[in-house]
A and B are shown apart, each in its own frame.
Chain A
């Protein structure tokens, strides 16, 4: 067999390259031989071990490294406030998170592969999924358990994920442009809050609770669903006039709707008007939030993979062709919009019961730009993209918080750069196959 020119053996090529290339080659080779054989399950329990270590020795270790306490967000927040502490924070992250995760995951890789294989072979897919989700939740819970700041951060991330994903259905999958998500969120937040306060809380406005408060946490899901349904009714008001035709109508009508909802609430004195509405019981704890987020992800995943859901994409790409291929385009648009609004409402309800206080000012243009940025940063038409966008932007906003006002110069510039480089977002039009993700890896 003849050897073609230009295909020199890899070792020779590497020898000629710089030190950096050598390091990179070494890293890739190491990854291939060592890390690529770790299944998701291995990574998850590796991370779980790291969290256990943090629980046990995190505080003394942080003190020993000269840090004022356990770094809140992997030391990312220290970068801008106290640059001198960056090496200590990096050492903490390395010692507590990176090394334990890598070591445990690598050492247990054969075992993890066997378990992952058994889970997939012996049980239906959902069993394996539940096991992975459980491990992931445990990791997250232990991480968030360290302090209240992390708890709140995780709660906001999960709310953002629900919001972003539901908005992506309308703006990404269906290709319309909706601006009323904060309005739906407000409807859901107020709807759910009124239900819980009226039924379970001794409040100045509504008086004594109608039901024993002990029942509250069990009926809380119903209150959230009630809030979601209220948001869906609001969506109907937007959808009926705007889905007669395609085009910019929805953007304008939905933007108007958002302002209407906001000023409506500001003028309803019974719910506190512009001062806000408080006394919500804080029932949206981490496990509750996680379960709701998982249900949201699961339902949207199901929907986007069904023929009825894929009709959204057909409507987006060519509505006339969709109609000619028996797709009821109006129904598709209505269902998608109402479904998205329902989840925005649920997110609003959760938000109200995380903080225990809401005011109409929260659900304005600021919130809208935040959610839109998350959708377009993460990527259109992709569940993974939406999760990336929600987590990414939330993280970015926390990291840049020390910049105060300048944060609102830096973040938009980043978004503009992103829009130029990747117009559809970081991870667009890509779906992850859950089964492939949970597969054992072969060395």
Chain B
């Protein structure tokens, strides 16, 4: 059974058809890419699957359960977590708080614990703190745990988003342009982090990316969309030589 199955998903913004008859099947353990020109509807697809928008038509099944109509926090708690293209960090909070907060759905001490500081609360908070530190070490930013995110360099902020998404213990991770705005050095490090995350945590990853080098190196299967429609799906080699993809996105001249 595929981990995530999207069938015939269509979405309208008023009269504008942003996504049309989109299909997707992700098997556990895959690392897949989604490419396409600006405005093609890539981020909209992410937003639709993670519940930020509700699809006008179509079905989304995660582990066989329907996700359409659920709130974004319910979908996230079921195991689909994501990062954002434009960073969406909480500007007054520390790095450690970011990562701990993503464990919200794993907290069981309830309001009594929150108001009165019970033993169960201290245990759970200590547990999630330890896990948060482990994750921060894993993405290589353990040394900034106590700092407020707004003061950190861009590459580090990207990793905070990554660690935060991982803290919710997802099965499927959506990365929306994980290397956007990074310099070559940060880029290589980020690719390393993505590989590590997949190998060490056994995650399934679905990513949007504009840099062909990243997509071609990392992904096993790539989808290409244009004007909200799927125009090609296949291995990096197939995509690279697909005439429709070249026409719509890669361009006739040299590619990577």
Contacts and interface: CB of A to CB of B under 8 A. Distances in A.
Interface string A323-342: 11111110000010001000
A95 B153 CA distance: 54
B35 interface: no
Contact of A326 (B73, B88, B92): B73
A317 interface: yes
A393 B80 CA distance: 48
Contacts of B100: 307, 310
A324 B50 contact: yes
Nearest to A318: B88
Contact of B76 (A308, A313, A316, A323): A323
A316 B89 CA distance: 11
B42 to A, nearest CB: 16
A324 B52 contact: yes
A307 B117 contact: no
A309 interface: yes
Nearest to A428: B92
Contacts of B97: 310, 313
Contact of B111 (A308, A324, A381, A429): A308
Interface in B106-139: 107, 109-111, 113-117, 121, 125, 128
Contacts of A310: 93, 97, 100-101
B90 interface: yes
A325 B168 contact: yes
A335 B97 CA distance: 20
Interface string A83-102: 00000000000000000000
Contacts of A429: 92
B93 A313 contact: yes
Interface string A187-223: 0000000000000000000000000000000000000
Given A321-B84, A325-B76, A313 B104 contact: no
Interface size class of B (residues with CB under 8 A): 35 or more
Interface string B197-238: 000000000000000000000000000000000000000000
A320 interface: yes
Contacts of A335: 111
Contact of B101 (A303, A314, A320): A314
Interface string A275-318: 00000000000000000000000010011001111110110111
Given A307-B103, A307-B104, A321 B113 contact: no
Given A310-B93, A313-B93, A324-B81, A302 B104 contact: no
A162 to B, nearest CB: 15
B102 A326 contact: yes
B92 A317 contact: yes
A311 B104 contact: yes
Interface in A338-393: 339, 381
Most A-side CB within 10 Å, residue of B88, B100, B164: B88
A395 to B, nearest CB: 29
A325 B161 CA distance: 10
Given A308-B104, A323-B73, A324-B76, A317 B114 contact: no
A325 B101 contact: yes
Interface in B21-72: 50-52, 71-72
A299 B112 CA distance: 10
Mostly, the A contact residues are helix
Nearest to B116: A302
Contacts of A381: 92
B67 to A, nearest CB: 13
A307 to B, nearest CB: 5
Nearest to B46: A324
Given A326-B105, A327-B73, A327-B104, A306 B113 contact: yes
A88 B119 CA distance: 54
B165 A302 contact: no
B168 A326 contact: yes
Contacts of A308: 104, 107, 109-111, 113-114
Contacts of B84: 321, 324
B243 to A, nearest CB: 37
A152 to B, nearest CB: 30
B114 A321 contact: no
A323 B77 contact: no
B90 A321 contact: yes
A309 B92 contact: no
B163 to A, nearest CB: 11
A43 B90 CA distance: 38
Contact of B77 (A306, A311, A313, A326): A326
B17 interface: no
Nearest to B124: A307
Given A324-B81, A327-B73, A306 B125 contact: yes
A14 to B, nearest CB: 34
B49 to A, nearest CB: 11
Nearest to B167: A325
A318 B91 CA distance: 8
A251 to B, nearest CB: 21
A327 B125 CA distance: 16
B92 A313 contact: yes
Contacts of B111: 308, 335
B159 interface: no
Contacts of B82: 324
B114 A314 contact: no
A320 B88 contact: yes
A302 B114 contact: yes
A56 B77 CA distance: 65
A321 B89 CA distance: 7
Given A307-B125, A309-B114, A328 B93 contact: no
A323 B104 CA distance: 10
Contact of A306 (B90, B92, B114, B168): B114
Interface of B: 50-52, 71-73, 76-77, 81-82, 84, 88-93, 97, 100-105, 107, 109-111, 113-117, 121, 125, 128, 164-165, 168
Interface of A: 299, 302-303, 306-311, 313-314, 316-318, 320-329, 335, 339, 381, 429
13 contacts: A306-B113, A307-B125, A308-B104, A310-B93, A310-B101, A316-B90, A318-B88, A322-B90, A324-B84, A325-B102, A325-B168, A326-B102, A326-B104
Interface pairs A-B: 6 shortest CB-CB: A317-B90, A321-B88, A326-B105, A323-B72, A306-B114, A308-B114
